Amino acid sequence: MKEEPNILQMTRAQFLIGILFPLFAGTMIAVSVSNQFSLTGFLLVLIIGIGIHIATNVYNDIYDAIQGADKKESKTRNYYSGGSGILLKFPHLIGKMFMLARFGLVLSLIATIGLLFIINQSLWPLLLVVTITLAFLSKYYTAPPFKLGYRGIGEIVVWSGFGPLAITLAAISQNLGFHFTLIAVMPATGFSTLSILWFGQMLDIKNDIAAGKIGLVARLGSKRAYQGYVIIIFLLIINILAISLFILRPGWPVLLSLLPFFITPIIWMILRKFHNNPIKLMQISKLNSLQYLLFSIMFIVGIYLTLIIES
């Protein structure tokens, strides 16, 4: 008898860095602008983000399993991409999975209410719009009737959720609304997370098409999807250069976040040759995830060093 998965596996906790990265980055940028730091606000926004991301991960697993996007026979599912496949092995856990997803949203709601008490009242409408939007996207990225990830706009949802929306949420926790510096950083966190989703969809393209999950990768086809991946990384690098050279003062520490892209030529070379071979691509999914992880860490380190130099 197979051992049932634990909560960390059911929530795919290893991917929570996806939301932690923009929340840390957005908070630090907000602090650099306002020269003030609210620890309570930061902790509450972490709870909001983690709760919504848990709901996103679990709802995605539930509805991808129900709608056939996750297949038992998939040979490309691995630790670094794709759904967990838990419900394919343990279908009786669907009730528990729904409870976990709803718990994540309730946790976020409680933290949002708490945040209302410590931010300026003028920011309340913006906070509610951002959190309600994120909660909506967490479920309806895959859930009917909207199924945004199945209709070719899931990539836009991911970019906006982990880019502009997450950065804005972090800024609100520090009593800061829209600011030019924050806006300049928004694309970077969105593009970096999108690179993970994009690569994962290239692995799952056949199963996604069979299940009617026709995202941008499936619509473009594997060759143009490879070119799309190159464009995403190129735009991310351009954004980092702009932040470093023209936005932050001093901005040179943020250039450290470009170091992980020494891996990129290897990924591009293999993608170009094997873009239509998911089994071959699975072998470099670890490299793609490593590139993302190192970039996230170095980006935060770069902003932190900027704060130290400023002070």
Tell me, yes or no, whether 148 lies in a domain: yes
**239-278: pLDDT as tens digits:** 999 999 999 988 999 999 999 999 999 999 999 999 999 8
The percentage of the chain sitting over the pLDDT mark of 70, rounded to a whole number, equals 95
Most confident by average pLDDT, 49-53, 71-75, 214-218: 49-53
Tell me, yes or no, whether 117 lies in a domain: yes
CA distances 277 to 208, 249, 288, 294, Å, are: 15, 45, 16, 26
- Of the ranges 14-23, 34-43, 83-92, 171-180, which one carries the lowest mean pLDDT score? 83-92
Tell me, yes or no, whether 237 lies in a domain: yes
Q: pTM for the whole thing?
A: 0.94
Tell me, yes or no, whether 175 lies in a domain: yes
Q: Total structural domains in the chain?
A: 1
**105-130: pLDDT as tens digits:** 999 999 999 999 999 999 999 999 99
Instruction: Check pLDDT > 90 for residue 194.
Output: yes
Instruction: Check pLDDT > 70 for residue 76.
Output: no
Tell me, yes or no, whether 1 lies in a domain: no
Torsion sign across C-alpha atoms 154, 155, 158, 161: negative
Q: Are 17 and 296 in contact (CB under 8 A)?
A: yes
- Structural domain harbouring 271: 7-310
Tell me, yes or no, whether 90 lies in a domain: yes
Instruction: Check pLDDT > 80 for residue 80.
Output: no
Give the per-residue pLDDT at 244. 95
Tell me, yes or no, whether 2 lies in a domain: no
Per-residue pLDDT band for 186 (boundaries 50, 70, 90) equals very high
